[in-house]
Amino acid sequence: MHSAIQQQHQGPADVVVLGGGPVGAATARLLAADHRVVLVDAGEHLRAAHRAAGMLAPTSEFRTTEPEVHALALDAMGRWPGEAAALETETGIGLDLRTAGTLHVALGADDLARTTHLADAARAAGLEAAPLDRRSLRRAEPGLSRRVAGGVAVQGDHQVDPRRLVTALRASCAARGVRLVDAAGRLADDGSVVLADGCTLRASVVVVCAGHRTDALLPGALPPTGVRAVAGTVLRLHGTPTAPVPSHVLRGRVDDREVYLVPRTDGELVVGATSVERGTDERVPAGEVLDLLGDAAALYPGVREMHLAEALSGHRPTLATPGPLLREHTLPGSDGPVRVVLSTGHGRHGVLLCHRAAAATAAAVRTSAPSVAPTPPARSSPSVPPTLEEAS
C-alpha cells in the first residue's frame, strides 16, 4: 500500500486538493489547466455524493429569506447543461441528467393549500411553478396514488446521478494530468498533507473540499469553519416490469414528514428526505427506513413491489448560516508560506452547486482572493420559512 500510494503522488505539485467529492474533483479538474494538481480522495464511503439523490432544485428549495443562496443556485443551474454535455463528451460517461421536471404532490386539502401558497411565492420571485389539479397530476404521472388532491409542477428542477458525476469528474481529472491519490489525508500545522500511511504531500496551495469532515482535517493552528454533519437516510430501490419508476422527481409530505422519489434511467429509484442531527453516525435507523418506504408508497403505490437494494446514511455539510463557505488562511510551511483555501458548507445543494463552487474555488487559488464573500461561522441557526418541499 505504501509503495502504491507513493507512486500515485511522485513528482512536484502546485496544488493539493483534499476531498474527492463533486466540488473537490471539479475544482481539481479546473486547476489542472495551469497547475500541477494532486487530488486526495478518501473513497466513496466518505463522500456525501455517494449517498445523495442528485436533485438540481433551485425552485423547490427556494426560500424568500435566502436571496443570495438562491442567486447562487440559479447561477449554478444555468451552468449545468453545458457542463454536463462537456463532461460527457470528454469522458464518454453518461451522467443521467434528466430534465422531465419535478412534481410536488399533496395528499390532502391542507397540504395542497400550503403547496399552492409556496408556489405562488416562487412565481412572485420570477420562478416557474404551475399548479396542477388531481386529474392533470395523475395524467402526468399515472402511477401516483388515487388519494392525491393536486400539486405543483416545477419544470426547471432536474436531477443527475451523483455517482456517475464523480466517476466522470475523476476520469476527466486523470485525463488532464491530475494525480489521483486514493487515501485519507489531513492537513498538518506546516501546511503539508499527511496521508493515512504516513506519506506526506507538499504544495504551495492546499484546497480543502472535505464536506462535513473539514474541521476534523484541519490543524489546530487554523480556526474551525463550524461546518457540521446533518444526517439523512437514503434508500435505493429497483423498479420491476409491473412496478416501473416514475418519470418525474416526486416530492411531497406524508404525516408531516417530507419524502422525495428520484428516478434513474436504469430503473433505480432513490427515496429520501430525512434530516436528523445525530453527528457522524453512519448506522441506518430502522424506523427511518420504515417511514421512508411507507411515505413513498403513500405517494406512489408501486414502491411496494420494488426491490430494496441499499439503505445508507449520508451527511450534508451544513453551516449555521445559509450558504457555502469559501475562506483562505496561510500556514508557515517548511519551504515558504502555504495558502489554505477552504470550500465547504454546501448543505443539501452540493451537487447543484458543484460547478459553481469549483469555479469560485479555482478563482480563489488563481487570484489569491476568494471570488465570493466568505461566510463566517455563526453561533446559531436563523429561523427560516419552509421551502416548497417542506410545505408540500
Task: State yes or no: pLDDT of 382 exceeds 60.
Answer: no
Q: What is the mean pLDDT of residues 314-320?
A: 90
The position carrying cell 480543502 is 208
Same domain, 108 and 248: yes
Q: How confident is the model at residue 9 (pLDDT cuts 50, 70, 90)?
A: low
Grid coordinates representing 25 are 474533483
Same domain, 142 and 232: yes
Q: What is the mean pLDDT of residues 353-375?
A: 77
d(CA 183, CA 198) in angstroms, rounded, equals 11
d(CA 21, CA 49) in angstroms, rounded, equals 6
Grid coordinates representing 259 are 419524502
What are residue 261's phi and psi, to 5 degrees?
-125, 120
Number of independent structural domains in the chain = 2
Cβ–Cβ contacts within 10 Å for residue 320, how many?
Answer: 16
CA distances (Å), 372 to each of 24, 69, 101, 282, in order?
17, 12, 29, 32
d(CA 272, CA 312) in angstroms, rounded, equals 10
> In the predicted model, what is the mean pLDDT of the chain?
88
Q: What is the mean pLDDT of residues 188-207?
A: 95
d(CA 140, CA 120) in angstroms, rounded, equals 21
Same domain, 232 and 313: yes
Do 334 and 193 touch, CB atoms closer than 8 A? Answer: no
Same domain, 299 and 238: yes
- The string of pLDDT tens digits covering residues 276-291 is 888 888 899 999 999 9
Same domain, 181 and 208: yes
pLDDT at 65: 65
Same domain, 168 and 306: no
In a domain, 181, yes or no: yes
In a domain, 63, yes or no: no
pLDDT at 372: 39
Same domain, 210 and 189: yes
Three-state SS at 344: strand
First vs last Cα of the chain: how many Å apart?
50
- Domain holding 25: CATH number? 3.50.50.60
In a domain, 84, yes or no: no
In a domain, 59, yes or no: no
pLDDT at 202: 96
Helix 162-175 and helix 350-367, axial crossing angle in degrees, nearest 10: 30
CA distances (Å), 387 to each of 70, 83, 152, 189, 200, in order?
11, 27, 13, 41, 44
Q: How confident is the model at residue 62 (pLDDT cuts 50, 70, 90)?
A: confident
In a domain, 208, yes or no: yes
d(CA 121, CA 287) in angstroms, rounded, equals 34
d(CA 90, CA 320) in angstroms, rounded, equals 38
Same domain, 253 and 309: yes
d(CA 264, CA 161) in angstroms, rounded, equals 8
Do 13 and 280 touch, CB atoms closer than 8 A? Answer: no
Cβ–Cβ contacts within 10 Å for residue 8, how many?
Answer: 18
User: Which of residues 303, 318, 333 is at a domain's end?
Assistant: 318
- The residues near 297 (Cβ < 8 Å, ≥ 6 apart) are 303, 304
In a domain, 392, yes or no: no
Do 228 and 318 touch, CB atoms closer than 8 A? Answer: yes
- The string of pLDDT tens digits covering residues 226-239 is 999 999 999 999 99
Q: What is the mean pLDDT of residues 339-352?
A: 94
In a domain, 283, yes or no: yes
Beta strands in the chain (DSSP E): 15-18, 37-41, 55-56, 102-106, 130-133, 150-154, 158-159, 179-182, 185-187, 193-195, 200-201, 205-208, 228-238, 249-254, 257-263, 268-272, 307-318, 325-333, 336-344
Cβ–Cβ contacts within 10 Å for residue 114, how many?
Answer: 18
Question: Could you say which DSSP state residue 381 is in?
Answer: P
pLDDT at 387: 42
HSE, CB side, 13 Å, CA atoms: give it for residue 25: 29
Provide the domain limits for residue 290: 97-158+228-318
Same domain, 338 and 354: yes
Do 89 and 195 touch, CB atoms closer than 8 A? Answer: no
- The string of pLDDT tens digits covering residues 81-99 is 999 999 999 999 999 999 9
- Domain holding 151: CATH number? 3.30.9.10
Same domain, 203 and 276: no
Do 246 and 230 touch, CB atoms closer than 8 A? Answer: no
376 versus 248: the higher-pLDDT residue is: 248
Same domain, 170 and 312: no
Same domain, 120 and 266: yes
In a domain, 277, yes or no: yes
d(CA 185, CA 199) in angstroms, rounded, equals 9
